[in-house]
A = this chain, B = another copy of it.
Amino acid sequence: MIEKFELLERKVLRKSNILTYCDDLYRFPDGKEEVYDIMLHNGASAVVPVLEDGRILMVHQYRPAVERVTTEIPAGKRDEGEAFDTAAARELEEETGYRAGRLEHLITINTAIAYCSEKIEVYAAFDLQKHEQHLDDDEYVEFEAYDIEDLVNMIYEGKIMDSKTIASLMAYYNKYRLT
């Protein structure tokens, strides 16, 4: 039986607009103590946007942390107090210009469970209607529609490496396309 560790002390080292970096001192079940790097994150939402013909809308953007242009599902952090499904619909419209007629919850993800509290709620979006893309000032994003089978191949070929995107596309594929 695995027991909880006891949090003895939290030292906040840095608070940015997305992450709060803490040194947390924990006591293990056997009494030993150790400091963990813990990042606190307010949560995010992501969407698998499904066009009427079954193709999936994906976004391309430059990601400094991995130094390359990626292919991802639309996603973004939740505003303070915002509901996860509201954030999902908002991010979809901001990044692609499409409004979702219907969102179905797909899965819940912790991105980097070893050191970050970030949780992403992922939805499949249907009945999409085209409006206008309106990106934030610091967003440089293009979108493109793909067949789900091609996206699955891109995962195995290493062309899609983003964990939320792999988890979400495979969960969508298994739930909606193979049954």
Contacts and interface: CB of A to CB of B under 8 A. Distances in A.
A10 to B, nearest CB: 10
B113 A65 contact: yes
A158 to B, nearest CB: 5
Nearest to A75: B114
A119 B163 CA distance: 10
Contacts of A115: 18-19, 65
A102 to B, nearest CB: 18
B2 A69 contact: yes
A88 to B, nearest CB: 16
Interface stretch (A78-86, A90-98, A126-134, A168-176): A168-176
Contacts of A173: 174
B2 A62 contact: yes
Nearest to A44: B114
Contact of A111 (B36, B62, B67, B111): B111
Interface of A: 1-5, 7, 13-14, 16, 18-19, 21, 24, 26, 28-29, 32, 34, 36-39, 60-67, 69-70, 72, 107-120, 137-138, 140-142, 152, 155-156, 158, 161-164, 166-167, 170-171, 173-175, 178
10 contacts: A2-B61, A2-B140, A5-B62, A36-B65, A72-B113, A109-B166, A110-B161, A112-B118, A166-B167, A173-B174
